[in-house]
Each structure stands twice: as structure tokens, then as C-alpha cells.
């Protein structure tokens, strides 16, 4: 039988020939492979961006709170007795000093008449003694005793007249009567609360603001307050607390509401306070996002088209967009594609015109 020759030498010869051919080609990869690799290496993500220039805008601060009457007082009885008449009922308006109700005066008027008679007698006795003293007919101790009796009689009259006055329940301020339970025959004790009076001629808005905003406020700044009724009324900052609430770290503020027609106290309201002007960029709120550090900001581009994060603060808003500050006066803001690029990525920006109402922020 013929012997089978070994295939090893043949394979070695073939490999040698292929190596020589590859060396003659300069050790280069096939052109098609090289082209594919280069294409993969040069792919740069594309985004849409706007070239935004900051403009001057009035800052606004929105505060939630409630309204109240500028002044409200609880009427406290200073006398005791049954109610004999009610002159002003709940919902009626009163002026300062108006009588709301009367209590039973019992025999106080008669006691006053008697006390006045004693006062007159004591006065006559004292006046007569004064003439005698000038003549040297009585001594100093006698005249002093008569003078004391006269003053005591006067004090009794004043005390009884005050008791009679306390049977009249008067309005301490002008306003509207609320929370009144006064009825004829009701027994009232000294110190009982009988009604409340609210001065609705001017309403006050009460709210609170955070520590970071306290420096922006000043007495006299103008504002609008939207009442729960839907009414929008003008207001002025009238009080700013100088002490923070330790539990909430906020400051209480008050706004005086001007020329309000519908008197609504104690209802939820929203105040928009006009602050100083500031430079801001107008954007869609959809472009805002919060990073891992909890900072709110935007993705922007630097001069090398690298993606950057810029922290911003909202200074005002309307139905289409928001005004933010924190960016440079001119800034390139990514408006489409920011969700697909990371910080420091180099991108290919397409600069476009910006409409905040239609930008959705992807």
C-alpha cells in the first residue's frame, strides 16, 4: 500500500505564503473594515439648543395664607345681670360706643340719687366748716375729717355711676357684630364674652415666607391677593416679622388689602408680591430637572460644545414658561435631547428658535 504523506508541511507552506502576501499589503486591514470602525468612532450625539440672552424681569414671590379683618375684638361684659334689651344683633354694623345690649340695672339708679344727695350734704357741710376755720372756730383735724367725708361721698357716686355704665354693653370698635349669643333674659356674668366685632373696612392677608426669601421683602412693596371668591385685589406689605418661627424656620408677614368690596375673612388666599427687577432667562418648565445633589437646574453647552449643569432659581412664571436666574447673561440651553446626554459629553448642537409653549424637554 502507498504511504499517506503528512499534511503538516503543506499547511506550514500555505501559512507562510499568506503571511508574505499580508506583509506585501503593508499589514493594513481591509478598507471596508477600517471605514466601519472609523464611522463608529466619530458618531457624536446631536441636540437642539437655543442661544438665550437674559432680560430684565420683575421678580415675584407667591405666598399662601389667609385673610382676616384688620381688627377684631371680643366684647367682654364688665357687669352682671339679665339681658333686658338687645339693640344690635349678629350681622349688624356698629360704631365705636354704640350700645349692643342692656343688662338689668336693678336699684342702681336709685342708689345713685341717694349717693348724690349725700354728696351734696357733705359738700355743704365741708364748705360751712371752711368758713368757720377761717374764723378760727374749728381746728385743722375737724376740717380734715369733713373733707374726707365729702370725698367719700363723691367716690360713692362715681362708683355707682360706673356700675350703671357696666350694665350697658358697648361696641369698643366700629365694625360688624359676629358670634353674638345675646338674648333677652340671658344671665350675663362679669367677664363673659358676649360677642365679637370685626372691622372689615380693611382686610389683612397673613402668610409666612422661608428664610431664603426674607431679605427680598420690604415694607410698602405692592402685591395682588387672589381671594377664594376669585376676586383679585391690590395689597401692600404692611408687616414683616423680625423673628423666625423655630418650628418651621419661616417668617410671618402681613399685607394690607386695599378697596375690597366683598368682606371675606379667614379664607384661603394667595398673594403675589412684586419684588425688585432681576436678569432672567425665559424657558419651558419642562427643561428643568433635579440632579443627584437635589439641585434644580438646566443642561447647557460651553464653548467646546460640552454638556454642563447650571443650577437655577425660578423668579417668576406665567402660563407658557418660567423666568430663571443663575445662568450667565448669554447661555446656550439644550431644549431637545438633554435626556440622552450626560455631563461633559461633547455634542453637535443644532441652534433653533425657542417657543416655551411648545418645548417639551426630552
Angle at the Cα of 239 from the Cα atoms of 236 and 242, rounded to 5 degrees: 145
Q: 118 pLDDT exceeds 90?
A: yes
Cα distances from 172 to residues 96, 177, 181, 208, 333, in angstroms, run 5, 11, 17, 30, 62
Report the C-alpha gap between 350 and 356 in whole angstroms.
Answer: 17
Report the C-alpha gap between 96 and 309 in whole angstroms.
Answer: 63
Report the C-alpha gap between 22 and 262 in whole angstroms.
Answer: 95
Report the C-alpha gap between 69 and 263 in whole angstroms.
Answer: 8
Q: 359 pLDDT exceeds 70?
A: no
Task: For residue 155, report the phi and psi dihedrals to the nearest 5 degrees.
Answer: -65, -35
Out of 7-21, 32-46, 192-206, 290-304, pick the least confident: 7-21
Right CATH for 79-190 from 1.10.287.470, 3.30.1490.190, 2.160.20.10, 3.40.50.720: 1.10.287.470
Who has greater pLDDT, 1 or 118?
Answer: 118
Contact 289, 309 (CB under 8 A): no
Contact 227, 64 (CB under 8 A): no
3-class secondary-structure state, position 198: strand
In tens, the pLDDT along 235-250 reads: 999 999 999 988 889 9
Cα distances from 119 to residues 8, 125, 152, in angstroms, run 150, 10, 8
In tens, the pLDDT along 302-343 reads: 999 999 999 999 888 888 889 999 999 999 999 999 989 999
Q: What is the pLDDT of residue 46?
A: 94
Q: What is the pLDDT of residue 312?
A: 96
Model-wide pTM > 0.85: no
Angle at which helices 140-165 and 108-134 pack, to 10 degrees? 160
Q: What is the mean pLDDT of residues 22-43?
A: 53
Query: pLDDT class for 5, splitting at 50, 70, 90?
Result: very low
Report the C-alpha gap between 171 and 72 in whole angstroms.
Answer: 11
Residue that has been written with the C-alpha cell 355743704 in this structure:
124
Report the C-alpha gap between 76 and 349 in whole angstroms.
Answer: 74
What is the third-level CATH fold of 47-57+279-351? Answer: 2.40.420
Contact 168, 77 (CB under 8 A): no
Q: 25 pLDDT exceeds 60?
A: no
Q: What is the mean pLDDT of residues 224-230?
A: 89
Q: What is the mean pLDDT of residues 62-90?
A: 93
Q: Which three cell numbers stand for residue 290?
A: 433635579
Q: 228 pLDDT exceeds 50?
A: yes
Angle at the Cα of 32 from the Cα atoms of 26 and 38, rounded to 5 degrees: 90
Cβ burial, residue 179 (10 Å; 0-12/13-18/19+): middle
The CATH architecture annotation of domain 62-70+202-276 reads Beta Barrel (2.40)
Nearest to 105 by CA among 159, 172, 155, 165: 165
Helix, strand, coil fractions of the chain, as percent rounded to 5: 25, 40, 35
Q: What is the mean pLDDT of residues 182-193?
A: 94
Report the C-alpha gap between 147 and 157 in whole angstroms.
Answer: 16
Where along the chain do its domains lie?
A: 47-57+279-351, 62-70+202-276, 79-190
Query: pLDDT class for 256, splitting at 50, 70, 90?
Result: very high
> What value does the mean pLDDT of the chain take?
86
Report the C-alpha gap between 349 and 331 in whole angstroms.
Answer: 13
Contact 253, 237 (CB under 8 A): yes
Q: What is the pLDDT of residue 33?
A: 46
Amino acid at each position: 500500500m502507498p504511504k499517506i504523506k503528512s499534511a503538516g508541511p503543506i499547511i506550514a507552506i500555505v501559512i507562510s505564503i499568506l503571511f508574505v502576501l499580508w506583509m506585501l499589503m503593508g499589514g493594513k486591514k481591509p478598507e471596508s473594515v477600517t471605514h466601519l470602525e472609523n464611522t463608529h468612532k466619530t458618531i457624536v450625539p446631536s441636540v437642539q439648543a437655543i442661544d438665550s440672552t437674559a432680560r430684565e424681569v420683575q421678580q415675584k414671590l407667591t405666598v399662601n395664607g389667609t385673610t382676616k379683618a384688620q381688627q377684631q375684638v371680643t366684647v367682654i361684659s364688665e357687669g352682671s345681670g339679665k339681658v333686658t334689651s338687645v339693640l344690635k344683633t349678629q350681622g349688624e354694623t356698629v360704631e365705636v360706643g354704640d350700645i349692643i345690649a342692656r343688662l338689668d340695672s336693678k336699684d342702681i339708679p336709685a342708689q345713685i340719687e341717694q349717693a348724690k344727695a349725700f354728696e351734696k350734704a357733705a359738700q355743704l357741710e365741708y364748705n360751712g366748716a371752711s368758713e368757720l376755720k377761717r374764723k378760727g372756730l374749728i381746728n385743722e383735724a375737724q376740717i380734715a375729717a369733713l373733707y374726707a367725708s365729702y370725698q367719700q361721698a363723691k367716690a360713692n357716686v362715681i362708683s355707682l355711676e360706673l356700675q350703671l355704665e357696666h350694665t350697658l354693653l358697648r361696641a369698643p370698635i366700629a365694625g360688624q357684630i359676629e358670634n353674638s349669643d345675646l338674648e333677652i333674659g340671658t344671665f350675663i356674668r362679669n367677664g363673659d364674652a358676649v360677642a365679637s366685632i370685626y372691622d372689615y373696612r380693611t382686610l389683612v392677608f397673613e402668610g409666612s415666607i422661608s428664610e431664603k426669601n426674607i431679605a427680598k421683602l420690604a415694607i410698602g412693596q405692592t402685591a395682588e391677593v387672589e381671594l377664594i371668591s376669585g376676586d383679585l385685589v391690590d395689597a401692600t406689605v404692611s408687616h414683616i416679622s423680625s423673628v423666625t418661627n423655630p418650628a418651621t424656620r419661616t417668617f410671618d408677614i402681613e399685607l394690607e388689602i386695599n378697596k375690597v368690596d366683598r368682606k371675606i375673612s379667614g379664607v384661603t388666599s394667595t398673594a403675589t408680591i412684586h419684588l425688585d427687577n432681576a436678569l432672567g432667562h425665559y424657558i419651558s418648565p419642562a427643561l428643568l430637572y433635579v440632579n443627584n445633589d437635589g439641585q434644580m437646574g438646566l443642561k447647557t453647552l460651553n464653548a467646546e460644545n460640552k454638556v454642563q449643569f447650571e443650577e437655577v432659581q425660578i423668579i417668576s412664571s406665567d402660563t407658557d414658561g418660567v423666568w430663571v436666574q443663575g445662568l450667565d447673561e448669554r447661555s446656550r440651553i439644550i431644549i431637545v435631547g438633554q435626556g440622552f446626554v450626560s455631563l461633559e459629553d461633547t455634542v453637535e448642537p443644532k441652534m433653533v428658535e425657542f417657543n416655551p409653549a411648545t418645548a417639551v424637554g426630552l
